[in-house]
């Protein structure tokens, strides 16, 4: 297990997750979505740098979730 902090807008949550928990797992997590209110179209950033969904989140990392810009439907 490891601890991560996730921020979305002015809200944030610190939670323990599995050691192999990835940025993609976070972006798809119903638990984090419900707690912070983000949707399906997001990007994950660490220190302002967008992260790959397959990358494992480092322990004690602070991840900022942002609403991604979509293209015109």
Partner 1 sequence: MEKTEIILQTDGSFVERLVSERTLNVGQGVLDTLTENVTRPIRNVFHIPDWGFVHANAGLNDTLWSVPIGRIPLHARFKLVNQVMVPMFASGTDIEIPLVWKVPTEVKVVFAVLTKQEDGIVSVEGNWLFACDVDKRGYRLPLPNLHDDCRICTGAFDGDQETAFECVKASLEQFGKSKWNADLMRTSEQSKQFFRFKPTKDSFETLPIQSDNWTMLCEKVGSALIERVIV
Q: Which residues bind partner 1 (CB under 8 A)?
A: 7-11, 36-39, 41, 48, 64-70, 72-73
CB of 21 to partner 1, least distance (A): 20
Instruction: Determine contact, residues 60/3, Cβ cutoff 8 Å.
Output: yes
Tell me whether residue 12 or residue 25 sits nearer to partner 1 (CB atom): 12
CB 58 within 8 A of CB 1: no
Question: Nearest approach, Cβ of 32 to partner 1 (angstroms)?
Answer: 12
**Pick 40 or 54: Cβ nearer partner 1:** 40
Handedness of CA 67, 63, 40, 37 (dihedral sign): negative
């Amino acid at each position: 297990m490891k601890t991560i902090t996730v921020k979305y807008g002015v809200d944030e949550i610190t939670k323990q997750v599995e050691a192999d928990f990835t940025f993609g797992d976070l972006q798809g997590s119903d638990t984090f979505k419900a707690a912070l209110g983000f949707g399906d179209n997001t990007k994950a950033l660490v220190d302002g740098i967008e992260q790959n969904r397959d990358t494992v989140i480092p322990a004690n990392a602070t991840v900022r979730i942002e609403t991604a810009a979509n293209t015109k439907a």
